Amino acid sequence: MESLFLTKEIVKVLDEKKAIDIKTIKTEEVTVLSDYFVIASGTSSTHTKSLAEDVDYEIKKRLGIEPEHIEGRATGWTLIDYGTVLVHIFDAQSRDYYGIERLWADADILDISNILTED
């Protein structure tokens, strides 16, 4: 499975489930950890937990892919590891505190505006 295709499918799921401030960072040129990071926020702890569950469920259903690892389901930051794509789902406070976008500022941002629906 091409990592860019997987990334876009994850973005679609997050958008469908009303995630906030979805960003995608192309990390393949700056780290061996992954090819892409997908970062999104939920409006509450319940929404954040639901987003993580929905990504896991929908990607399994649509593409037959299971994550290698899921971490932090009970916290303000859930990480879903698909190997070449890492999904970070935050509550607003945790996203601001950890500043993933700032930490990876030297990586390119992937334009996903054509995937996102207008609210």
Domains identified in the chain and CATH numbers: 3-109 (3.30.460.10)
* Residue-level pLDDT at 55: 98
What mean pLDDT value characterizes the chain? 93
Distance CA 48, CA 76 (A): 8
Q: What number is the average pLDDT over the span 31-58? A: 95
The pTM assigned to this predicted structure is: 0.94
pLDDT of residue 1: 59
Q: What is the pLDDT of residue 7?
A: 98
Element (H, E) at 5: helix 3-16
Choose between 33 and 111: higher pLDDT.
Answer: 111
- 60-69 average pLDDT score: 96
pLDDT higher than threshold 90 for residue 74? no
Kindly state the percentage of the chain with pLDDT values over 90: 85
Cβ proximity of 80 and 87 under 8 Å: yes
* CA 73 from centre of chain: 14
* Alpha-carbon radius of gyration of the chain: 13
With 70 as the cut, is the pLDDT of residue 119 above it?
no
